[in-house]
Amino acid sequence: MGPRSEPGPVDLHTHTTFSDGLFLPEDLVAEAKNRNLSGVAITDHDSVGAIDRAVAAGKQHGVEVVPGVEMSCNADGVDVHMLGYYIDHQAQDVLDFFENVRFHREERARKMIEKLKELDVKVPLERVMAAAQGGSVGRPHVAQAMVEAGAVPNVEQAFRRYISYEGPAYVPKMKLTPGEAIGFIKQHKGIAVIAHPATYRNDNAVYTAIAAGVDGIEVWHPDHGPRETSHYKEIAQKNRLLMTGGSDCHGGRKYNHVFLGEIPIPYRYLAALKRRSRAIRS
Ligand code: AMP
Ligand code: ZN
Ligand code: FE
Ligand code: FE
């Protein structure tokens, strides 16, 4: 890197073992370094537990670690994910909030196990909880336990036959609206970005989020094709919103592929995110 050139690319969407990723926070950061990323955001589902460990590892490796979280919301029956960057993740009410969500997710896992039992699929709760390793328990962990129990040949089949949205053992999560998530993120000095908008049925959630004061749109994501990418870039520009992107790395849980850094985001988008963060804190 020359003296005046900007730092290398970043990845602003990743998961660790604190939700459904397979990398420990330290290993994710080390892998980011291997892949020549200058920065990586930790955005676990409904958990900020990995952030401090990742930040410490980032100092060792010379990788800029961006604190983040991916909150689960629901808008008119559609699951919507809201990214929150730079929230005060050590604040007690933030920790309490996510502890409460963790509790709800555990209750939900129990309910899914009950439904599976009625379908003659026996999955021990202990195996699900072991798969979650104390992090945000979700369907990927239920699926993993189903595979381990021999109920399905693989995770894909677990989703397809039982726990996809339409599946007979699906149980919805607690209902938080995108507006509430945005409010929570902003209340704790964070930047709210609607995640992978192309994965929702239509753009209603995007416009709801814009009306609720969302700060940005995730434009680059593995589930976005070139058309979607330019579509959301246009919406972001029209509404003067920040643009972010990332690999949504789950450390190989999805398709046995790591994905980290494969959607390289130019550093200037992180720089813009940081400028916004500094502006709302000053
Ligand atoms: P949850 O938050 O518990 O509803 O789980 C959602 C997570 O499950 C997503 O973030 C994905 O990582 C994963 N997931 C959703 N659908 C599938 C699928 N068909 N195959 C594998 N993983 C999936
Ligand atoms: Zn996930
Ligand atoms: Fe997501
Ligand atoms: Fe994600």
Contact 114 CB / ligand 1 (< 6 Å): no
| Band of residue 86 on the pLDDT scale cut at 50, 70, 90 | very high
Is the CB of residue 196 below 6 angstroms from any atom belonging to ligand 1?
A: no
Digit-coded pLDDT (tens) for 106-121:
999 999 999 999 999 9
In short, whether 31's Cβ falls inside 6 Å of ligand 1 is: no
Over the Cα atoms of the chain, what is R_g? 18
Structure tokens at 135: 């992090």
Which residues have CB under 8 Å from 254's CB, separation 6+?
Answer: none
Helix or strand or coil: residue 142?
helix
Q: Return the sign of the alpha-carbon dihedral for residues 186, 251, 266, 4.
A: positive
Does the CB atom of residue 21 touch ligand 1 within 6 A? no
What is the enclosing helix (H) or strand (E) of 273? helix 267-281
For ligand 3, the distance from its centroid to the CA atom of residue 120, given in whole angstroms, is: 30
Taking the CA of residue 137 as reference, the ligand 1 atom at the shortest distance is 3
pLDDT tier, 3 (very low <50, low <70, confident <90, very high otherwise)? low
Average pLDDT over residues 179-203: 97
Mean pLDDT in residue range 27-48: 98
pLDDT band for position 87 (cuts 50, 70, 90): very high
What single-letter DSSP state applies at residue 7? P
CA of 256 to the centre of ligand 1 (A): 14
81 lines ligand 1 (CB under 6 A): no
Residue 220's pLDDT band, with cuts at 50, 70 and 90, is: very high
Q: Is 20 in the pocket of ligand 1 (CB under 6 A)?
A: yes
- Whether the pLDDT of residue 101 is over 90: the answer is yes
Closest-lying ligand 1 atom to the alpha carbon of residue 105: 3
CA of 92 to the centre of ligand 1 (A): 29
Go through the domains of the chain in sequence order and give each one's CATH number. 10-90+176-281 (3.20.20.140), 98-163 (1.10.150.650)
Residue with tokens 């003067």: 240
Separation of CA 248 and ligand 3 centre (Å) = 7
Q: Is 140 in the pocket of ligand 1 (CB under 6 A)?
A: yes
* pLDDT at position 83 over 60: yes
pLDDT of amino acid 1: 54
105, pLDDT greater than 80: yes
Confidence of residue 77 (pLDDT cuts 50, 70, 90): confident
Q: How would residue 76 be classed by pLDDT, with cut points 50, 70 and 90?
A: confident
pTM: 0.95
The conformation of residue 14, written as its DSSP 8-state character, comes to B
Average of per-residue pLDDT across 131-143? 95
pLDDT(50) > 70: yes
**Residue type at position 4:** R
The pLDDT tens digits of the residues spanning 58-73 come to: 999 999 999 999 999 9
- pLDDT above 90 (res 198): yes
Say what the pLDDT of residue 200 is: 96
Q: Name the closest-CA residue to atom 19, ligand 1.
A: 159
pLDDT, one tens digit per residue, over 226-271 is 999 999 999 999 999 999 999 999 999 888 899 999 999 999 999 9
Q: Which of 17, 20, 71 to mutate to test the pocket of ligand 1 (most atoms within 8 A of CB)?
A: 20
Q: Sign of torsion, CA 200 29 18 100?
A: negative
Residue 70 alpha carbon to ligand 3 centre in Å: 7
Q: Which of 15, 105, 139, 155 to mutate to test the pocket of ligand 1 (most atoms within 8 A of CB)?
A: 139
CB of residue 72 inside a 6 A radius of ligand 1: yes
Q: Is the model's pLDDT at 4 over the cut of 80?
A: no
pLDDT of residue 32: 98
- Cβ–ligand 1 distance for 138 under 6 Å, the answer yes
For the CA of 142, the closest atom of ligand 1 is 3
Q: Which two tokens stand for residue 197?
A: 């908008």
